[in-house]
A and B are shown apart, each in its own frame.
Chain A
């Protein structure tokens, strides 16, 4: 048994403003990220120089050793990054922070992500140097939307599910974003008619099935239960945090497409979800609210099944029933998610999870005691965590 006194808690969160991609030009991505880390530590009531660990994911360009000197950290005891591109490692970077504090390798670890797509590469376009690029680029398969559309198409083929159910994911995100002043799409309403009139990106994904491209930074501060008890901050326990993959994924949808047959049209989360719930000593019915990594609507359908909230092929009817809405049985993506709040490779979803348990979400779920947050779906590694209080 882990010593309860070292059990990981999130004690602070920080977010920059979120803008459409290219919207932040008055400061560098690195400066924005440094400011956001400082904001998160201040939220926790911890002096910035006291942080002793830094984690991130997806080849984050905001180099941790340089961040440590920029922030004036007295000592760096832990720095790590989760392998893999995109947002697969978002919850995983928090999992690393938890592992660091629970094992005693560090005391205060910040998991962060800074992403100004107007200053660097746009993840939604061709990127040279991609692993297995030789097997996708010569065919015109360049962008994650196109790559993951292949899984979504196969999912509807295998399950007979209704592709029109994807609209529910988009409308839910937008309705929640319209209540959220931080959301890039706060003032833009979305109707069913507008969704179905929108252009195809890569069938069966339309424009509104695809995440935003935004600029922003987000960070969370992880420390032990013992330290959290000494702070004024409203802390949230990380009941469990995991990252990993089923067998055979490798570059998966982003390259090889040679996952096992039974796992092809999934979010690569079935084994991960079992580990997660076991470690948290919970079942899906214990989850009050969830933040699913909504890079593309169709992967959220698969994840609802892979995490056990409904059976195989049942997610389209589940979302059409209204279950994922704020007044449903499993409200999801209550900040608007990456479809409508901002795309910070999932770190903004972790922060929304903390807000729900602090009781300060703009789409607050009454008496929320548990929140599931996933990392990027349908990639390897993917990740997830459960917050509780």
Chain B
């Protein structure tokens, strides 16, 4: 069972981000990084903002992230989410890859317990259609 119901909007890969989602579909989180100067960037863009190279590689940020900010959402702004309320949307950072942030969900904890600075672990949510979405749960949670 996916975390959200099937009516939840799924990623619709575009030329600029299709490689990010192709990695996710394989169960791998990878961030676009400049091949020339090693600066990572997210969301993907066609050019390195530091050196303007268009050459890229895809780098593993590790499975551990840290909560940079979060909100507990109580109001449904889409028909798919009422059964999930309240749910946690977080911005996470990666100790092993400074310079990128990812928006995600923190699952497997009471929403009121999430805090900035918490360590969380990556899991992939199979949402069907050959796509998986990266979400996180507290380190040590099932």
> Using a CB–CB distance below 8 Å, which chain A residues touch chain B?
124-126, 128, 132-143, 145-146, 149-151, 153-154, 157, 199-205, 248, 251, 255-258, 264-265
Contacts and interface: CB of A to CB of B under 8 A. Distances in A.
B71 A153 contact: yes
A134 B103 contact: no
Nearest to A265: B69
Contacts of A134: 11-14, 17, 21, 43
Given A153-B70, A258-B101, A138 B10 contact: yes
30 contacts: A134-B11, A134-B13, A135-B102, A137-B9, A138-B9, A138-B127, A139-B133, A140-B78, A140-B89, A141-B73, A143-B75, A145-B75, A146-B71, A146-B89, A150-B70, A150-B71, A151-B69, A153-B70, A154-B69, A201-B75, A202-B72, A202-B74, A203-B71, A203-B73, A203-B74, A257-B91, A257-B103, A258-B41, A258-B101, A265-B69
B78 A139 contact: no
B116 A138 contact: no
Contact of A258 (B100, B116, B133): B100
A201 B43 contact: no
Contact of A257 (B9, B10, B81, B101): B101
Contact of A139 (B75, B89, B116): B89
B77 A126 contact: yes
B89 A141 contact: yes
B94 interface: no
Contacts of A140: 4, 8, 73, 78, 80-81, 84, 87, 89, 105
B43 to A, nearest CB: 5
Nearest to A201: B75
Interface in B44-84: 49, 68-75, 77-78, 80-81, 84
A143 B76 CA distance: 9
Contacts of B81: 140
Size range of the chain B interface in the assembly: 35 or more
- Of B9, B21, B71, B86, the most chain A CB neighbours within 10 A belong to B71
Q: Top 3 closest A-B pairs, CB basis?
A: A149-B71, A154-B69, A143-B77
A253 to B, nearest CB: 9
Interface in B1-32: 4, 8-14, 17, 21
Contacts of A146: 71, 73, 77, 89
A284 B116 CA distance: 33
B78 A142 contact: yes
Contacts of A251: 43
Contacts of B8: 137-138, 140
Contacts of B68: 154, 264
B13 to A, nearest CB: 7
Given A139-B133, A146-B73, A201-B73, 12 more contacts: A124-B77, A135-B43, A139-B135, A140-B78, A140-B87, A142-B78, A145-B77, A149-B71, A154-B69, A200-B75, A258-B41, A258-B42
Interface string B98-137: 0011111100000000001000000000010000010100
A201 B103 contact: no
A126 B43 contact: no
A155 to B, nearest CB: 9
A117 to B, nearest CB: 14
Contacts of A205: 71
Nearest to B8: A138
Contacts of B11: 134, 138
A330 B12 CA distance: 47
Contacts of B10: 138
A85 to B, nearest CB: 15
A132 B116 contact: no
A132 to B, nearest CB: 5
B75 A202 contact: yes
A142 B101 CA distance: 18
Contact of B103 (A124, A136, A143, A204): A136
Contact of A256 (B42, B73, B86): B42
A201 B12 contact: no
Contact of A199 (B13, B21, B74, B91): B74
A139 B116 CA distance: 18
A153 B69 contact: yes
Contacts of B12: 133-134
